[in-house]
Amino acid sequence: MSLPESRLYRETLAAAMAFHARKLWLEYENNECAAVVVPGEEHPMLASIMGQGGEEFGLLLIRGPAAGGSLLRILGRDMRENDAPDDAAFMGFSMDRYGEIPPPGRSFLAKAAFAGRGRDLAPFFLAKDANRDPRRVTADEVRKCLYALKGILKARDAGLLTPPAFDAGRDTLTLVLSGDPLDPEVKTEYRRIGVQPAVPVASLSDARGDLKGLPRIPGRWLVGFPFLPVSIANDDRTVRLVLILDEPSELILVASPVQGGLSEAVDRVYQALRGENTQKQSGIPAEVLIASQDLFQAIAPVLDSLGARCRYEPRLPLLDSALRDFIEHLADGEAEPDDTDEDEEAVPAPDDLEGWKRCDASLYQRAQARIAEVAKTPDHALVQFFGSAEAASGSLNDPEDRLPSMAFFEWFWLDYRAPGRQRTLAERMLAERLPEPQRILLEARLQATPSIFKVERIERGESLTMLDVLFGGEVVLHDKSLSETAQVDFLFPARVFPAGNFHFGSPLGPPLPTIDADRVLHFLEQQGLKLTRGGTKEKPHLFGHLWSWAAALRASHAHPRMKNTDGDDLCFHTATYAVRHEAQARAALAAHQNVEQDPESGDYVWFRPNDPKTARIPGDTVTLGRLSFAGDELLLEVNSARRLKKARGWLDKVPGIEFKSVLTRTLKELREAGVPPDDRLDREEVEMTPELAARVRAMMHAHYMRWLDMPLPMFGGKTPREMCRTADGKKRVARYIRTIPKPVSSTGPEIEVPRKEMLDALGLSEDD
């Protein structure tokens, strides 16, 4: 059956998704491979179900007359070595996030009409020929993959897929597929799968002769054979680098790109021994460490026979550092595109906000284009910024929230430094030809100190006034989008940098409620962040750990257990008493030592005096309930069953009233109903006169100033004034004062926190 190309790709996409959903990696190990014979493929393919290691889920179809040898080298590869054997030929797919799939894989998905978002899982189809660069799959290969996917699942469901671990010395279970690729016929038989030698031993043995006469030299050589991320026009052969270092001097002896595979690399190592190296010195070093397993297996017997101690060591930091420098040198040597308009871009006038915005957008696009050159974001970079792979996945999993990916991008661009001495992308960009306004903005970004900013005021659609919580001072941030969505008194971990007469910002962490400021700072210190200018510049990635911390905090607050001051679960009770003699009842309430009448509303408040030893304010009390006369009834309102029981203990004895009933409402019921505990009470709001507003402001001002001398649990029982006896204490108190949120009331007057007066009273400044 011949399928139209559009349907072929759609059916193969659906088959790959179904294959992944079956989770066959839970049943089969990597080496439990069956051979698959499909129409049009000359040799049986070895099918390896991937995913047993918890990553790279998918199907690998190893091709060619020596598929068995390729499989053994892939399975036998030391997992610490980054590069896989280059002589293997294969096709297949792995599951990746759509946004991380490079262009060759996107081509398949486009033809399959995949309609997903950046974080959605999708199959990444790829093919590779022996000693060639990976490439996109052809339509014929897609058809063969469809055969294999459908056939393997059909064999599994029929109980036919029972392969043992692959063994080159015995026949292999083989699925012979034919007929309709959407529902292939499956027959089983056993066949011998070809295996070729791992290295061309015969040609290597000839090398011993002309190396025997070389002198022995001291020291140790480090030898690598990595892939190079370069391509040559009209030549799809993979490019690898023979890299040899003299460890004692750290000098590069050989850095030679090759395209002839392993045999050419072996010849290049022997040439270096004969003196074809940067030092022009011939000889056999005392010790040789080789980072490539294939190269080690090829030359170790020869070097051992010549008296050199030879060892396979897949991770050699000095070699890795030299490789990064070499790759950077290649990148720096590439000519920049000739973009006359961009190079002649003029620096905007200081008051040209739109001009600076355009320049910043151009710089941002340039950085995005450079990052797009990386096929896949390094996993360790995600872990470094978000704290763990799970935290990274959870933070980036919401396609509607772009802020985590924006924050990661800003950090990855400006701060991420791969292990070793590699420069950041921003540093590499500064070494290139940048338009002058972009250079100004990039340097400003790099000089900015990462901090936490509190939103003080907002001009919707224009700007935000931000207070630097860690280091003091206010700055106006010109960010239209943020000014339309931000809230006053929220915290934002960010960099804020100048652009002409304005300031722009780049995010580092999630928006956080100001009330959590002390816990936020404590968490960051626990992660190892020093709350100094040098400390936040050294480890800005720790702000990224706040994404998972904030998510956990939100989860814990999703259904909080609400309690009153006595520790009782909140449950609202309204007890109704019939009033027989109101004057007699009012007199009894007025005589009660723990009941007083509210002069504004006329209601009665039932209270308990606080313990003088623990009270923050002398004479402070705790309100336990409220009593109000409504017609011929007296209503008692309390917020727990225990308080109701205690109130009835004395209220039932009050003359002139008689208990009738009690209405109970849980907090959940109140939220769902959206009504007060007793909707029969039609209490009028108190009119906020100028005199009353002045009294409220004076009371709040006195409260804030009195706070400076209150013993506080958050400070270990010390007062803020006592905390200021040490330098660290001063910083902590100043940070806390900067994060005190402005009191908000729908009916009360606007109140400003007297931050400057509080700091002045403690001998602190805005910059402490």
- Residue 334: pLDDT band (50, 70, 90) is very low
**Do β-strands 284-290 and 309-312 pair in parallel, antiparallel, or remain unpaired?**
parallel
User: Which of 4-8, 363-367, 393-397, 747-751 has the lowest average pLDDT?
Assistant: 747-751
pLDDT at 82 over 80: no
Q: What is the pLDDT of residue 689?
A: 73
- Which long-range CB contacts under 8 A does 312-317 form with residues at least 24 apart? 312/78, 313/289, 314/78, 314/80, 314/81, 315/80, 315/81, 315/291, 316/222, 316/224, 316/289, 316/291, 317/419, 317/420
Q: Are strands 45-50 and 621-630 parallel, antiparallel or unpaired?
A: unpaired
Q: Which of 194-208, 305-319, 739-753 tops mean pLDDT? A: 305-319
Mean pLDDT across the stretch 256-277? 86
pLDDT surpassing 50 at residue 736: yes
Residue 751: CB atoms within 10 A of its CB come to 17
What DSSP state is assigned to residue 540? G
- Pick 669 or 68 by higher pLDDT: 68
The DSSP symbol for 56 reads: -
Query: Considering the chain, what is the average pLDDT of its residues?
Result: 83
Q: Is the pLDDT of residue 375 over 60?
A: no
- pLDDT higher at 681 or 699: 699
- φ, ψ for residue 446, nearest 5 deg: -70, -30
454 and 514 Cβ atoms separated by less than 8 Å: yes
Residue 680 banded pLDDT, cuts 50, 70, 90 = very low
Token pair, residue 498, equals 């100048």
Query: pLDDT class for 374, splitting at 50, 70, 90?
Result: low
Position 748 scores a pLDDT of: 57
- Is the predicted pLDDT of residue 359 greater than 80, yes or no? yes
Digit-coded pLDDT (tens) for 397-438:
765 677 898 899 999 989 988 665 567 888 888 877 788 999
Q: Once rounded to an integer, what is the mean pLDDT over residues 118-130?
A: 86
Lowest mean pLDDT among 58-67, 110-119, 621-630: 110-119
Q: Please give the distance of CA 102 from its chain centroid, rounded to a whole number.
A: 20
Most confident of 136-145, 188-197, 364-373, 481-490: 136-145
pLDDT at 176 over 90: yes
Extract the tokens encoding 6. 């559009």
Instruction: Evaluate if residue 729 carries a pLDDT over 70.
Output: yes
Most confident of 417-426, 477-486, 541-550: 541-550
| Burial 478-510, CB ≥16 within 10 A → b, else e | bbeebbeebeebbbbbbbbbbbbebbbbbbbbb
Rounded distance between C-alpha atoms, residue 518 and residue 714, angstroms: 9
Is the confidence at residue 280, as pLDDT, over 90?
no
Residue-level pLDDT at 205: 44
Q: With a cut of 70, say whether residue 209 has pLDDT above it.
A: no
Which three-class secondary structure state does DSSP give residue 621? strand
pLDDT grade, residue 371 (50/70/90)?
confident
Q: Which of 544, 538, 543, 451 is nearest to 503 (CA)?
A: 451
Residues 6+ apart with CB under 8 A from 496: 448, 451, 453, 466, 468, 475, 477, 503, 504, 505
What is the reported pLDDT for 419? 62
Q: Report d(CA 616, CA 380) in Å as an integer.
A: 49
Of 265, 304, 219, nearest to 86 by C-alpha is: 265
Give the mean pLDDT of 539-546: 94
Q: What is the mean pLDDT of residues 247-265?
A: 84
Q: State if pTM tops 0.85.
A: no
Q: What is the pLDDT of residue 343?
A: 42
pLDDT in tens, 220-240: 999 998 877 665 555 667 788
What confidence score (pLDDT) does residue 681 get?
Answer: 41
Interval 372-400 mean pLDDT: 76
Identity at 739, one-letter amino acid code:
T
Where is pLDDT greater, at 134 or 205? 134
Percentage of the chain exceeding pLDDT 70: 84
Average pLDDT over residues 667-678: 56
Angle at 44 between CA 39 and CA 49, to 5 degrees: 105
Between 182 and 79, the more confident residue is 182
Which pLDDT score, from 0 to 100, does residue 340 have? 38
Q: Give the chain's domains with CATH numbers.
A: 5-191 (no CATH), 201-333 (3.30.420.10), 341-556 (no CATH), 571-673 (3.30.70), 690-761 (no CATH)
The dihedral through the CA atoms of 40, 44, 50, 56 has a sign that is: negative
Q: In the prediction, which pLDDT does 377 show?
A: 62
State residue 749's pLDDT score: 65
pLDDT given for residue 21 in this prediction: 92
Indicate if the pLDDT at residue 151 is higher than 80: yes
Q: Of 25-29, 491-495, 690-694, where does mean pLDDT reach its minimum?
A: 690-694
CB contact set of 321 (below 8 Å; sequence gap of 6+)? 420, 421, 422
Amino acid type, 240 = R
